[in-house]
């Protein structure tokens, strides 16, 4: 372990600032952090000028790196959108010769043309270090056994966490996604202490543990979970922590920046720290381009500060969150954002009301009788928009007074939060199809079919 990285015993985790991978960087005084951002922003703009797309945009806006004097100068720079990335796929945003690139990751393209992100060797090293910083920040050490249950390949979550765990020095099991009984067997056989998993798969595994007769609190050594790749509510986290007897941490990133390693939740579990030495983050009006006051929810916009192969300037992520104004008790100076509250393109409009799936998740995960899965189905019935929330429950609640009482309770809870009244259908456990290898589908909108 490099001498700059503090080894702090797990028993001291209750102390503020108990574990820093790079203490000087993570606790850099805010004024110095802003100076570093300004310096790196100048360099990032210079690198981006090698891309014809940015060169033309900078010229049209009379932008020159010498005009950048602070992170606030970023507001004069043009936005980049996912549509831009799709239109320029695959090589149109490369800022270095292709032979200088050693890795490419890409989206599946299931909701449109694919998006590609390239990396130089230095980009991979920087990315690995950021992920190691996240892992170390909640107590993961080289003595840990890390089981990576994310998909490997073009998806950034698998290799991103893998390289970060290896850099930290932890024994890393490249388990990949899916194959639920095998995942449990690996935890038992190797004494896994830390896992990276999608929250929906963590919920699915609860039933697998019960079917295999294994108690995760007694029969395995699991201590820490990283929940990533899907937005999830605080209620989902609590349900997972209660079943497994672990600390579960929110891992947020996006493929266009790197993937995991953009930010992490420290042991305070109160928002995620953005690594501001590598990214400038803005919160803007999603219907325009003006910055919003601290504490107000808007669209997250990212600018890379260290990427060589493919710098992105003011990338509109579509993710919705807000800045948390108070400093974190952990001692880090890098700003925090709230839990992701949804995506602009995930918003449901029903009966004139804007609804985000996370609102529904928060309500249902707080219902003790819900087994593990739910599905929101939107349809048109006789020219009328309908919403049916399907919820898996134990058999005892499928008929009679218990069934109707629970159904009414769920309807009332949803109506209180959403301000509209959906239908609720109670189903036996295991009825709703789940995906072991990808993100579980929570909403099916049949109205446009």
Look at residue 112 in the predicted model and tell me its pLDDT. Answer: 52
Q: What is the arithmetic mean of pLDDT over 112-118? A: 83
Percent of the chain at pLDDT > 70 equals: 93
Q: Is the pLDDT of residue 66 over 50?
A: yes
pLDDT in tens, 330-383: 999 999 999 888 888 778 888 878 788 888 888 998 898 988 789 999 888 877
Q: Is the pLDDT of residue 167 over 90?
A: yes
Q: Is the pLDDT of residue 10 over 50?
A: no
Of 133-142, 143-152, 276-285, 433-442, minimum mean pLDDT range: 433-442
Look at residue 372 in the predicted model and tell me its pLDDT. Answer: 77
Look at residue 69 in the predicted model and tell me its pLDDT. Answer: 83
Q: Is the pLDDT of residue 17 over 50?
A: no
Of 135-144, 227-236, 380-389, give the range with the top mean pLDDT: 135-144
According to DSSP, the β-strands at 298-304 and 279-284 are antiparallel
Asked if 356 and 345 touch (Cβ cutoff 8 Å), the reply is no
> CA separation (Å) from 58 to 50, 54, 78, 180, 201?
11, 6, 8, 50, 44
Q: Which of 339, 344, 312 minimizes the C-alpha distance to 324? A: 339
What value does the mean pLDDT of the chain take? 89
Q: What is the arithmetic mean of pLDDT over 149-178? A: 94
pLDDT in tens, 227-242: 988 878 899 999 999 9
Asked if 414 and 363 touch (Cβ cutoff 8 Å), the reply is yes
Of 64-68, 160-164, 303-307, 399-403, minimum mean pLDDT range: 64-68
pLDDT in tens, 27-36: 999 999 999 9
Q: What is the arithmetic mean of pLDDT over 155-183? A: 94
Q: What are phi and psi for residue 299, nearest 5 degrees?
A: -85, 135
**Which of the four pLDDT bands, split at 50, 70 and 90, describes residue 291?**
very high
Look at residue 437 in the predicted model and tell me its pLDDT. Answer: 52
Q: Which pTM was predicted?
A: 0.84
Look at residue 293 in the predicted model and tell me its pLDDT. Answer: 95
- Specify the higher pLDDT residue, 156 or 352: 156
Look at residue 14 in the predicted model and tell me its pLDDT. Answer: 40
pLDDT in tens, 45-55: 999 999 999 99
Of 68-77, 325-334, 387-396, minimum mean pLDDT range: 68-77
pLDDT in tens, 428-447: 988 888 765 556 778 888 87
Q: Is the pLDDT of residue 8 over 50?
A: no
**Which of the four pLDDT bands, split at 50, 70 and 90, describes residue 18?**
low
Q: What is the arithmetic mean of pLDDT over 85-90? A: 94
- Per-residue HEC secondary structure of the chain comes to CCCCCCCCCHHHCCCCCCCCCCHHHHCCCHHHHHHHHHHHHHHHHHHHCCCHHHHHHHHHCCCCHHHCCCHHHHHHCCCECHHHHHHCCCCCCCCCCHHHEEEEEECCCCCCCCCEEEEEHHHHHHHHHHHHHHHHHCCCCCCCEEEECCCCCCCHHHHHHHHHHHHHCCEEECCCCCCHHHHHHHHHHHCCCEEEECHHHHHHHHHHHHHHCCCCCCCCCCCEEEECCCCCCHHHHHHHHHHHCCEEEECCCECCCCECCCEEECCCCCCEEECCCCEEEEEECCCCCCECCCCCCEEEEEEECCCCCCCCCCEEEEEEECEECCCCCCCCCCCEECCCCEEHHHCEEECCEEECHHHHHHHHCCCCCCCCCEEEEEEEECCEEEEEEEEEECHHHCCHHHHHHHHHHHHHHHHHHHCCCCEEEEEECCCCCCCCCCCCCCEEECCCC
- Specify the higher pLDDT residue, 445 or 413: 413
């Amino acid at each position: 372990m490099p001498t700059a990285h503090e080894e702090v015993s797990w028993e001291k985790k209750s102390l503020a600032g108990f574990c820093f991978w790079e203490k000087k960087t993570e606790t850099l005084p805010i004024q110095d952090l802003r100076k570093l951002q300004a310096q790196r922003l100048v360099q990032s703009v210079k690198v981006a000028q090698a891309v014809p797309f940015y060169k033309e945009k900078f010229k049209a806006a009379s932008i020159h790196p010498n005009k950048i004097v602070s992170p606030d100068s970023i507001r004069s720079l043009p936005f980049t959108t996912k549509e831009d990335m799709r239109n320029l796929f695959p090589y149109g945003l490369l800022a270095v010769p292709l032979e200088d690139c050693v890795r490419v990751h890409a989206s599946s393209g299931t909701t449109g043309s694919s998006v590609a992100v390239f990396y130089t060797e230095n980009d991979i090293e920087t990315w690995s270090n950021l992920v190691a910083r996240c892992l170390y920040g909640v107590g993961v050490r080289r003595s840990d056994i890390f089981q990576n249950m994310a998909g490997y390949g073009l998806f950034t979550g698998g290799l991103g966490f893998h390289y970060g765990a290896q850099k930290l020095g932890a024994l890393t099991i490249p388990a990949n996604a899916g194959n639920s009984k095998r995942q449990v067997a690996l935890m038992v056989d190797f004494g896994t202490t830390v896992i990276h998993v999608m929250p929906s798969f963590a919920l699915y595994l609860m039933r697998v543990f019960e079917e295999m007769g294994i108690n995760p609190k007694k029969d395995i050594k699991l201590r820490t979970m990283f929940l990533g790749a899907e937005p999830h509510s605080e209620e989902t986290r609590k349900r997972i922590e209660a079943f497994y007897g672990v600390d579960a941490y929110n891992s947020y990133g996006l493929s266009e920046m790197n993937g995991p390693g953009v930010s992490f939740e420290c042991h305070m579990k109160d928002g995620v720290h953005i690594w501001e030495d590598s990214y400038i983050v803005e919160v803007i009006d999603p219907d325009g381009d003006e910055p919003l006051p601290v504490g107000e929810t808007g669209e997250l916009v990212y600018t890379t500060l260290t990427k060589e192969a493919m710098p992105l300037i003011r990338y509109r992520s579509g993710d919705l969150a807000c800045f948390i104004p108070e400093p974190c008790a952990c001692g880090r100076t890098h700003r925090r954002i709230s839990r992701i509250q949804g995506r602009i393109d995930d918003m449901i409009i029903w009966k004139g009301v804007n609804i985000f799936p996370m609102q529904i998740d928060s309500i249902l995960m707080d219902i003790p009788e819900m087994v593990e899965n739910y599905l929101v189905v939107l349809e048109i019935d006789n020219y009328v928009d309908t919403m049916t929330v399907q919820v898996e429950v134990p058999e005892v609640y499928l008929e009679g007074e218990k069934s109707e009482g629970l159904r009414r309770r769920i309807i009332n809870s949803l109506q209180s939060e959403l301000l509209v009244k959906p239908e609720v259908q109670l189903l036996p456990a295991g009825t709703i199809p789940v995906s072991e290898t990808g993100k579980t589908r929570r909403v099916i909108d049949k109205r446009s079919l």
